[in-house]
A = this chain, B = another copy of it.
Amino acid sequence: MFKHNEQQPEGFQASLKEALDNLAFNDAGLVAAIAQQHDSGEVLMMAWMNREAIEETLATGRVCYFSRSRRKLWRKGESSGQVQMLKELRIDCDGDALLVKVDQTGPACHTGRRDCFYWKADASNVTIDKAPIKDPKELYGK
């Protein structure tokens, strides 16, 4: 469906069901989901969604991923309190990646940093260049 309709004009519409039936889920039934803060444009994190997580996110307006380590739905913030409210969910041209525009409360990263991309690489080294905005012990100590 995605390839077939890629030359359609703005305004072209299909049902969510048809889109989900045609997403390019990997062997584990997942697609990559990029979370971006809707107003500042910061890329916060990358995680994974299965079909159920996408449907729940769109139905509830609160972002739900699929945790590969825990093998279950992961309502972002359920243990840390740092939830993501959905502003916009987008699918890419070949149906194998999602862009989720969110309103993130506090840090998106389990380390207490605002975002997960705190290692900056150059041709010789990688360097941590971001500090936590909340103590991770506070996030998970509850």
Contact = CB atoms under 8 A, between A and B. Distances in A.
Contacts of A19: 119, 121, 126
Given A10-B129, A10-B130, A119-B92, A43 B36 contact: yes
Interface string A67-111: 000000000000000000000111111101101000000000111
B10 A131 contact: yes
Q: Size range of the interface on A?
A: 35 or more
Given A32-B32, A121-B58, A92 B16 contact: no
A118 interface: yes
A88 B123 contact: no
B126 A14 contact: yes
B58 A16 contact: no
B129 A117 contact: no
Contact of A117 (B58, B59, B99): B99
Which 8 residue pairs are nearest across A and B when measured between Cβ atoms?
Answer: A41-B41, A90-B117, A46-B97, A92-B116, A91-B119, A19-B126, A99-B117, A12-B128
